[in-house]
Every structure is written in C-alpha cells, then in structure tokens.
Amino acid sequence: MTDALLVLFDVDGTLLLTHDEVYVDANRAALAEVWGVSPDGADVPGDTALAQTRRALRMIGIDDAEIDAGLPAWCASLSRRYVELLRDADTSSWELAPGAKEALPLITRRALLTGNPEAVARARIERLGLAALFADGGGAFGCEREQRVDLFALARERAGDWPADRTVAVGDTPLDVAGARAAGARCIAVATGACGAHELAAADVVIASLAELPAALERLAA
C-alpha cells in the first residue's frame, strides 16, 4: 500500500548521520567570494541553506537587499566548490543511517526534500551509495525555496501534482515536522539526528531508525 504515498526524505540526520566538514569549507569559501565575509552560521537544524545564510549575514549587519542580490551566486559557488572538494575528500567515516539501504528500495515513490542545495544533496547520497534510488528531476532543495514549507509544493508538483494528504516527509528535526504539518503533509520523524523522540512528538509517527520505516508507512497508508 505504500505506493499510494509520496515519501520525501531529508538528508542530514536522516540519511547521513555524520557532520560534513566539506560543506563547512565550501560554504566559507562561497560566502567570502560573494560577500567578502565568512560569518559563523546561526544554524537551525532542518532549515534551508538560503535561510541559514540570510540569518548568518543579517547577524553581521548585511541588509536583505544585498543578501538577495548575492544569493543566486552564492548557491552556485557553494554547489561548485562542494562537488570539487568532495571529489578528493576522505568520507570513509561517513555513517549511513541504519536500515536505509534495506528500507528505501521498498518504497515505490520516493524523492529528496532537504535544506541542502541540490548538487550537495545528490553528491552526498552518491557517496552513501543511494544515488540510484533518487531519480533526477524530483524532490525539492534548499536553494530553490527559502522556507522549508514551500519545498513541499515544489516536490509534489514534480511528482505530478501529488496530493498533500498522501505525501509523507521523513526527517529528524522539529522543523521537518512543522514544515510537513504546515504544508498539509504527514510526517514520520526518525530519532537518529540531534533531537530525541520527545522533541519530535508532533510527528504522525516517531521511529528509532529507518529499519522501522516500511511498517510505519504501512500504518499511515492503511
């Protein structure tokens, strides 16, 4: 019955459980290239790349007009630099979420919905051995919309205007849950990121690992 659901996967903390220093280095270089500064981020887990960058730049006094003018160039620079740096990076210590390789092939309609820029997300899942499971042209990414809730409409449009009430987000943060709710979708929260199950209780279902995902989806599809 899970073929009746469109399942949208977050990346950080959901599929990839390891902090990515390659992203940090690429982001610093891209910020310096576009705005001449490399502020430390004020990260909110689950937020989009655009929102994180705007927040960091505002904190050092850059106004929204200057931020807006530079965001497209920053997204392009970050994406290019990340792919280049990752090419020679040792990611042997990266941890794939337990149960991911077994659970994902059992889901008929799946795509990525992540705050990462698309090039970053796809490079990461390629390193994790999941690239074949996520076709190009689907999902939604963090340089396409600034607010996470707005990514849902884009992902559903790319899936043939899939209904919101038959769309399920799989994520690991309260923002993942809140975004799904606000978009009229459902949410399965997986407690493999920085947030515990009690922080994710607003989701339709909270699971300990992706090994439990197929059964959770069957319950939602029933």
How confident is the model at residue 56, as a pLDDT?
A: 94
Instruction: Kindly report whether the global pTM for this prediction surpasses the value 0.85.
Output: yes
Tell me which residue of 184, 112, 180, 189 sits closest to 144, measured CA to CA.
112
Q: Assign 28 to helix, strand or coil.
A: helix
How confident is the model at residue 163, as a pLDDT?
A: 97
Q: Assign 32 to helix, strand or coil.
A: helix
- Half-sphere exposure of residue 125, counting CA atoms within 13 Å on the CB side? 26
- Residue with more model confidence, 43 or 19: 19
Q: 87-128, pLDDT tens digit by residue? A: 999 999 999 999 999 999 999 999 999 999 999 999 999 999
Cβ distance 175 to 148 under 8 Å?
Answer: yes
119's tokens = 């090039």
Tell me which residue of 210, 170, 172, 171 sits closest to 194, measured CA to CA.
172
Kindly report the average pLDDT of the chain as a whole number: 95
Tell me which residue of 213, 208, 111 sits closest to 167, measured CA to CA.
111
Q: 27-81, pLDDT tens digit by residue? A: 999 999 999 999 976 678 889 999 999 999 999 999 999 999 999 999 999 999 9
How confident is the model at residue 44, as a pLDDT?
A: 80
Residue 1's pLDDT band (cuts 50, 70, 90): low
What is the three-state SS of 87-143? HCCCCCCCCECCCHHHHHHHCCEEEEEECCCHHHHHHHHHHCCCHHHCCCCCCEECC
Q: Is 129 left (phi over 0), alpha (psi -120 to 50) or beta?
A: left
Q: 170-219, pLDDT tens digit by residue? A: 999 999 999 999 999 999 999 998 889 999 999 999 999 999 999 999 99
> Cα–Cα distances in Å, from 162 out to 106, 181, 216?
19, 16, 20
Residue 172 and residue 189: Cα distance in Å, rounded?
5
Q: What kind and span of H or E run contains 19?
A: none
